[in-house]
């Protein structure tokens, strides 16, 4: 159906900013067909140059073949709301042997590791502890790849739903293999075969059907077959991926989440992706820097050395990095500070530039000066009727021949971080009709320079956007 096509394409468009692993030709082809312009953005050249001046590089100095050692897979759990993502993450955490040994005092730091047995070997798996695709898209919007495998949760009594499809698109766009967890098999009316059937339509064909996707039937609530799911994750990692990293180098990785703690200052959970992170290391994470004063694991234990794929809470940064920011350990405090300061200066400049490019006030001028050719919108409303009505009316606005109005995403509900990430990657303005942003959204929009517009009257929305397109909207002060 066209809506999901648009969405699929959209996630493809998003992908090119983050990875280079899919053919650009295909994207342009798809884009052209759907009337989209697809911009292929290279990795942040400027940042590369900055690191280069300090003789540093991110993700490139992996060392020789001999240095590479097997690392645990990093997994994100995605799926439709209420299909059991949170419950499953909980069940996985508590059925695990490491937990029993450590006494079971768990700390939620944004990610955790579990140990499981496969073929007589104890193997680790890292789970990102934020269910849903918000964390996933946030990281990808910043160009980090943090996930090796997606566990797609589908409730056996419900079936494939919109966010299931969205999750599949996200995973495909990022070229990440999927393991399907058919959840709630304890429920009456559970029909696992129906799920297998439905998912073939989305290219996920179960091994039993001759495909290469592993499907595992579980109950998160009754903790049935959680071990089977963990085994499937490891088998998929071993079959499809060659997960190795060099532990013998200064650490690099990605910040998963971070906040300011009244007593402890900046607290950041980072995922080490290569190298070994040690207490005392000087690190720079996005625009933040500092020396690692202490590290805590997901049982609240002190950690002195963190190897690849290990998530740890880091204390000692002077400010709070953003989720998805990459980090790296450097030789000297001075270097970390200088890199962070230059990034801060650049971010301030970029924010100003962003704002100028995207706000509704500046639209008329930007159009007149040919800086942009289209107005791109994301529409969120309190019900599907009003969203459609608003979209229809907006599409009828005519301003000359050249200006096109494109709606890249529409939906019912509050404005989410996902919407903002999408808006940031496509330079869209977000229109909210009778809705409010969810927590943290305004901050993200400010940071990304995304303009959000709220309306409660359809005509007001149309008038204002029409005026903006004609360059008649006066800046608000």
DSSP 154: E
- Output the smallest distance, CB 213 to ligand GDP, in A: 20
452 is in an annotated binding site: no
131 is in an annotated binding site: yes
83 is in an annotated binding site: yes
130 is in an annotated binding site: yes
211 is in an annotated binding site: no
- Output the smallest distance, CB 227 to ligand GDP, in A: 15
Our CB check for ligand GDP shows the closer of 416 and 427 to be 416
From 346, 301, 304, 311, select the one nearest 124 (Cα to Cα): 311
- Output the smallest distance, CB 178 to ligand GDP, in A: 16
- Distance, in Å, from the CA atom of 184 to the CA atom of 215, rounded to the nearest integer, reads 14
Using DSSP's 3-state secondary structure scheme, residue 328 falls into strand
- Distance, in Å, from the CA atom of 330 to the CA atom of 341, rounded to the nearest integer, reads 15
* Angle, vertex CA 112, rays to CA 111 and CA 115, nearest 5: 155
463 is in an annotated binding site: no
Our CB check for ligand GDP shows the closer of 83 and 409 to be 83
Our CB check for ligand GDP shows the closer of 87 and 380 to be 87
Our CB check for ligand GDP shows the closer of 257 and 281 to be 257
- Output the smallest distance, CB 88 to ligand GDP, in A: 7
- Output the smallest distance, CB 216 to ligand GDP, in A: 12
The Cβ-side half-sphere exposure at 242, using a 13 Å CA radius, reads 3
- Output the smallest distance, CB 111 to ligand GDP, in A: 16
Cβ atoms of residues 194 and 159 within 8 Å: yes
Tokens of 430: 């977000």
Beta strand 429-433 with 374-381 is: parallel
* Angle, vertex CA 460, rays to CA 386 and CA 7, nearest 5: 45
84 is in an annotated binding site: yes
129 is in an annotated binding site: yes
- Distance, in Å, from the CA atom of 25 to the CA atom of 8, rounded to the nearest integer, reads 16
- Output the smallest distance, CB 229 to ligand GDP, in A: 12
Our CB check for ligand GDP shows the closer of 187 and 355 to be 187
Residue carrying structure tokens 């290990």: 310
Q: Is 22 left (phi over 0), alpha (psi -120 to 50) or beta?
A: beta
Residues facing 315 on adjacent strands: 267, 294
- Distance, in Å, from the CA atom of 459 to the CA atom of 388, rounded to the nearest integer, reads 14
82 is in an annotated binding site: yes
Our CB check for ligand GDP shows the closer of 186 and 361 to be 186
Our CB check for ligand GDP shows the closer of 106 and 442 to be 106
Using DSSP's 3-state secondary structure scheme, residue 192 falls into helix
Sites of contact with ligand GDP (CB under 6 A): 79, 81-87, 131, 183-184, 186-187, 219-221
* Sign of the dihedral defined by the CA atoms of residues 234, 173, 439, 85, in that order: negative
> Which residues are annotated binding-site positions for GTP?
79-86, 129-133, 183-186
> Which residues are annotated binding-site positions?
79-86, 129-133, 183-186
């Amino acid at each position: 159906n066209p809506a999901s096509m648009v969405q699929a394409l959209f996630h493809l468009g998003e992908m090119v900013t983050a990875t280079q692993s899919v053919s650009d030709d295909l994207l342009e082809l798809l884009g052209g067909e759907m009337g989209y312009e697809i911009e292929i953005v290279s990795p942040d050249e400027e940042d590369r140059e900055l690191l280069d001046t300090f003789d540093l590089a991110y993700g490139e100095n992996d060392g020789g073949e001999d240095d590479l050692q097997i690392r645990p897979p990093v997994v994100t759990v995605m799926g439709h709301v209420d299909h059991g993502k949170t419950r499953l993450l909980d069940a996985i955490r508590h059925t695990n042997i490491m937990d029993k040994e450590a006494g079971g005092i768990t700390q939620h730091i944004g990610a955790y590791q579990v140990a499981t047995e496969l073929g007589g070997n104890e193997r680790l798996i890292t789970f990102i502890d934020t269910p849903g695709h918000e964390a996933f898209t946030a990281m990808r919007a910043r160009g980090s790849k943090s996930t090796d495998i997606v566990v797609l949760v589908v409730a056996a009594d419900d079936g494939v739903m919109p966010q299931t499809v969205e999750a599949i698109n996200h995973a495909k766009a990022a070229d990440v293999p999927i393991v399907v967890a058919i959840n709630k098999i304890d429920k009456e009316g559970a029909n696992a075969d129906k799920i297998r059937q439905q998912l073939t339509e989305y290219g996920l064909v179960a091994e039993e059907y001759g495909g290469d996707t592993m499907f595992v039937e579980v109950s998160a609530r009754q903790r049935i077959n959680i071990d089977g799911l963990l085994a499937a994750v490891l088998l998929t990692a071993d079959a499809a991926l060659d997960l190795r990293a060099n532990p013998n180098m200064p650490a690099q990785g990605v910040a998963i989440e971070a906040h300011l703690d009244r007593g402890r200052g900046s607290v950041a959970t980072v995922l080490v992706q290569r190298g070994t992170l040690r207490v005392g290391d000087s690190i720079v994470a996005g625009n933040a820097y500092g020396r690692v004063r202490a590290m805590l694991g997901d049982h609240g234990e002190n950690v002195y050395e963190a190897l690849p794929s290990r998530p740890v809470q880091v204390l000692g940064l002077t400010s709070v990095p953003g989720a998805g920011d990459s980090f790296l350990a450097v030789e000297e405090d001075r270097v970390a500070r200088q890199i962070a300061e230059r990034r801060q200066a650049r971010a301030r400049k970029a924010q100003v530039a962003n704002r100028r490019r995207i706000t509704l006030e500046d639209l008329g001028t930007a159009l007149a000066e040919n800086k942009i050719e289209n107005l791109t919108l994301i529409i969120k409303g309190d019900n599907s009727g009003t969203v459609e009505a608003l979209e229809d009316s907006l599409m009828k606005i005519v301003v000359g021949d050249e200006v096109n109005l494109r709606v890249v995403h529409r939906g019912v509900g509050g404005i989410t971080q996902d919407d903002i990430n999408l808006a940031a990657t496509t330079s869209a303005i977000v229109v909210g009709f009778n809705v409010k942003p969810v927590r943290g959204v305004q901050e993200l929009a400010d940071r990304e320079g995304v303009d959000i517009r709220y309306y409660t009257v359809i005509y007001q929305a149309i008038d204002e956007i029409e005026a903006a397109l004609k360059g008649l909207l006066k800046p608000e002060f």
